Amino acid sequence: MSAPIRLRLEPRPSRAAFALVSLVCLAVAALVAALWLPWWAALACFGAISLGFHDGRRRTVGDRVPALVHVGIDRTITVTDRRGRSRNGVVDASSFVGARLTTVVWRVSDAPWWRPPDVILFLPDVVPADDFRRLRIFLRYGRSASAATRGVDAG
């Protein structure tokens, strides 16, 4: 049996996603400012908003944007970060595939049960159009190795 087909992606930072994160954080900050809150509650809300903005910036244009992503038709994934560290895992069924937005929800192979899955956001400005189309096909029609071997009994 031959090795499964793998797609190689080199994601770029997404200015569109960063603009969306910035816009949402500004809107939430304006909403908090308009509410009648005690000063300590408003300060806590602004702290949470700034932490969310910082994490969103890192995930869209910062150091948390992966340098290299390999996605297999068998729903395996290898993600290499900007420091050169690679992690293997499996793409989760809760990944979203759309025409303009695709989220790859994946779980690291050796992660403990309580660790939440990682998410990679793909917009059209992150990868070339042909690679974006291939990624959507891999995520929609790919199967895990165990599901592919089960099959249907023609009996």
The residue type of 154 is A
**Mean pLDDT on 49-67:** 95
For the chain, give the percent of residues with pLDDT over 90. 86
**Interval 7-55: pLDDT, tens:** 999 999 999 999 999 999 999 999 999 999 999 999 999 999 999 999 9
* Chain position carrying tokens 């948390």: 64
- The pTM assigned to this predicted structure is 0.82
pLDDT at 146 over 70: no
Length of the chain: 155
For 58-117, list the strands marked E by DSSP.
Answer: 68-72, 76-80, 86-91, 96-97, 102-108
